[in-house]
Amino acid sequence: MALEAIGGLALILTAAGIYGVISYLVALRSKEIGIRMALGAETPSVVRMVLSESVKLALAGMVIGSCIALAVGRVLAAHVFLVKAFDLSVYALSSAIVLAMATIAAWIPARRASLVSPVSVLRHD
pLDDT in tens, 30-76: 888 888 888 888 889 988 988 898 889 889 988 998 899 888 888 87
Instruction: With beta carbons less than 8 A apart as the criterion, state whether 118 and 34 touch.
Output: yes
Q: What is the mean pLDDT of residues 8-31?
A: 83
Q: What is the pLDDT of residue 64?
A: 92
Res. 25: pLDDT tops 70 = yes
**pLDDT value, residue 125:** 59
d(C-alpha 83, C-alpha 73), whole Å: 8
Nearest CA to 104 out of 36, 46, 47, 45 is that of 47
Label residue 83 by pLDDT band (50, 70, 90).
low
Q: Which one has a higher pLDDT value, 86 or 56?
A: 56
pLDDT at residue 110, as a whole number: 82
Report the distance separating Cα 114 and Cα 10, nearest Å. Answer: 30
Q: What's the whole-model pTM score?
A: 0.74
